[in-house]
Structure 1
């Protein structure tokens, strides 16, 4: 019997309106009624996830920042793993000097480069291609907890801990050059959460590690944990969960590493996976 279900958000739990759809919400509540604990495991900031859960009126534990933070359903912080501030700001300075869009996630806000949107428009013009990647960025940029920065010093002045850097580009070669540079240092956890980005966290950060710690805290064997996701930053939790479920909209490489495949996020694949596992007809 599954006792803990971990769900990614974007491309998994959320619909095209950036909301937890009614069918998925009903399934989550059904799981809760059966004594199953829920956790959201997202690359998003924990306060972003908590806000979405509050809007949907559903309680869940929260794994934020790809595993950088872990909160219980009542908001208690179980653990956080931050980047070294000096090193993180050096990375920000290096990349923004080369006109990379670098989003900086801190304890209380998310900082975007002041000229970031201009740089992205210039990339599109140079590459002569349509914007097929920017929807998620543009949607999140409207949130009130986003702030602009013109230099790394402005972020440093906030005094907030930094737990994630997200590097975004429409230029695949440009993105690869930056990713290879920081992967070669063997100092960071680096994953992709979608087309056109990579994310930099502290060395041992992953959704899988956070899920392992949460299961231990709840005294739930990993064999009784189910993980549902769609992207490469979900692979670490698939590796530790007793049952791994890929979304129908996931890449084939991700599907190949899971026990089963559910429907797409547009088809309420999370609800389908929950009902299948819990035996609801």
Structure 2
């Protein structure tokens, strides 16, 4: 019997319109009514995640920036795990040396030094899980994220590292040059206090070793008196593996990466086919039969 469900967002809970479908919403509400704890676990910032969740009329805890921050259903911070300023400067220096684009996620918002490359990064993440959607449509949606202030432009990231009010949660690295990405991954892998994952074919996500979806999920469930082995985690990409490794029922999306499908004990439908709803309802039905 599952007592909790953790779901990724992009490529998982969200469809090709970047929305939570009615089918997924109904399944989540049914699970909550049955006493099952539902948690959204995403690489997005809280601001970018919460507006989609609230728009669908869902109240739940949200694991943000791959586990660097956890907010409860009321939006209150319950956990944070950032990267120290000196380490952030080192990461930025290494990436600049390689000439590779990156964004910085902080407790004060998400920042870029290059608007156009930031748009390209959003397009890449979205088209990884929705390859047949037109680039023009995705580009317009990406521009709206900037226009609505969910991503901010700064001249130099150093202003963030110098400001004590900014806690760095994540570096999101983007390049269509696979060799550069591999070089960046090799360099950063040597820093043992970091976790390096990915949410798209052309990106890397860099967090504190204490900021992973699996680490955050264990903390959330423990605080609620729930056993992680009675949890189900649903996702499609590499940054979901840390939570899939700790739960009793890991579920890969039908559109998920082969590595994710290979690890998981269950595979559901795609994000366009209400895969999250199917996974939840299948688990609940199985629980009733046990």
Q: Same fold (TM over 0.5)?
A: yes
Match of 2:231 in 1: 225
Query: Does the 8 Å CA contact 1:96/1:113 hold for their aligned counterparts?
Result: no
Does 1:68 find its partner at 2:68?
Answer: yes
Let me know the Cα RMSD of the aligned residues.
2.6
Which position in structure 1 is the counterpart of 2:189?
183
Does the C-alpha gap of structure 1 residues 90 and 53 become closer, same or farther in structure 2, counting only changes over 3 Å? same
8 Å CA contact 1:149, 1:155 repeated in 2: no
Cα drift, residue 6 of structure 1: 0.2
Post-superposition Cα deviations, 1:185-231, rounded to whole Å, max 9, x if no partner, equal: 22311111111011111122211111111110111112221111111
Q: Runs of 4+ in structure 1 displaced over 6 angstroms?
A: 118-121, 131-134
Tell me the distance in 1 between the aligned counterparts of 2:8 and 2:149.
Answer: 22
Q: Secondary structure at the match of 2:215?
A: helix
Secondary structure at the counterpart of residue 216 of structure 1: helix
- Structure 1 residues 239 and 148, CA gap change in structure 2 (3 angstroms): same
What's 1:216 paired with?
222
Structure-1 residue corresponding to 2:108: 108
Q: For residues 173 and 242 of structure 2, what CA distance do their matches in structure 1 show?
A: 20
The residue number in structure 2 matching 1:163 is: 169
Gaps of 5+ in 1: 122-130
Q: Please, which runs of 5 or more residues in structure 2 have no aligned partner?
A: 122-130
1:22 match: 22
Q: Note the C-alpha offset of 1:132.
A: 9.7
Inter-CA distance 21–119: structure 2 relative to 1 (3 Å threshold)? closer
Deviations 1:129-183 (A, max 9, x none): xx99985894654541211122122323553111100000111111111111111
Counterpart-to-counterpart distance in 2, 1:116 and 1:91: 22
Assess if the C-alpha contact under 8 Å between 2:47 and 2:150 holds in 1: no
Using a 3 Å threshold, how does the CA distance of structure 1 residues 238 and 23 change in structure 2: closer, same or farther?
A: same
**Cα pair 1:244 1:259 within 8 Å, conserved:** yes
**Cα distance in 1 for residues equivalent to 2:278 and 2:232:** 13
1:202 is matched with: 208
**Residue matched to 1:126:** none
Match of 1:32, SS state, is: helix
* Between 31-40 and 271-280, the greater mean CA deviation after superposition: 271-280
Q: For the structure 1 residues 138 and 119, does the alpha-carbon distance in structure 2 shift closer, same or farther, using more than 3 Å as the test?
A: closer
Aligned to 2:43, what secondary structure does the other structure show?
Answer: coil
Q: How far is the alpha carbon of 1:116 from its aligned partner? A: 5.3
Kept in 2, the 8 Å contact 1:111–1:146? The answer is yes
Q: 1:146 aligns with which of 140, 147, 151?
A: 151
Structure 1 position 59 matched with structure 2 position 59 = yes
In structure 2, what is the equivalent of residue 85 of structure 1?
A: 85
Alignment size in residue pairs: 272
What is the TM-score of this pair, normalised by structure 2?
Answer: 0.86
